[in-house]
Amino acid sequence: MTKEKLEELVEIKEKLIAYEPIANVSTSSEQLGASEQGVKDNFEGVDLHFDKVMAEIFAIDDLVDDDWRKPIVNYLENPVGVTERKVKYRALSYTIIENELFKKTPEGVLLKCLNENEAYVAISNVHSGACGVHQAGHKMK
């Protein structure tokens, strides 16, 4: 995935954040010292109607066919159905908690399972954040 596509994905994710409708704001323009006519003049031709948007991002119910988690999730949700032996064996170390897939480690730690896009975002955050770029590759050996 290129850096441009990753930035587009982050921008889309930011746009999916839920916003409260502007009508729910308790402070009126008169309390702020603005006249109604002045506000209308400033926003003439602009649609000020906002709808409350609620979105569940990366829910396991909406898995695409090429997502590696799909066979495991399908088996965990319906273990009676026909499933390959390999998937059944792999599913023993996975669990679903609050509609998210986790892998159980031998130590008992739960690791959140990410799809390809989530993994790119996570790795990008790690490398651009506190971890940053390593000084030199040979120092890491």
Model pLDDT for residues 48-101, shown as the tens digit of each residue: 454 444 444 445 556 777 788 999 999 999 898 888 999 999 999 999 999 999
Domain span including residue 71: 52-130
Q: How far apart are the first and last CA of the chain?
A: 27
Instruction: Tell how strand 100-104 and strand 110-112 pair up.
Output: antiparallel
- Residue 41 falls inside a structural domain: no
Please tell me the distance from the alpha carbon of residue 101 to that of residue 45, in angstroms, as a whole number: 46
Count the domains in the chain: 1
Q: Is residue 10 part of a domain?
A: no
Is 63 part of any domain? yes
Look at residue 19 and tell me whether its pLDDT is greater than 60.
Answer: no
pTM over 0.75: no
| Comparison of pLDDT for 86 and 134, the residue scoring more | 86
Q: What is the pLDDT of residue 55?
A: 44
| 58 occurs within a structural domain | yes
Residue the block writes with tokens 């409260």: 20
106 found inside a domain: yes
Residue 72 lies in a domain: yes
Q: Specify the pLDDT at position 117.
A: 87
Which residue did the predictor score with more confidence, 103 or 20? 103
* CB hemisphere CA count around 7 (13 angstroms): 4
Percentage of the chain surpassing pLDDT 70? Answer: 48
Does 27 reside within a domain? no
Residue 29 carries which side chain, given as an amino acid letter?
Answer: S
Is residue 97 assigned to a domain? yes
In the chain, the percentage of residues whose pLDDT exceeds 90 is: 27
Tokens 């008169």, residue? Answer: 30
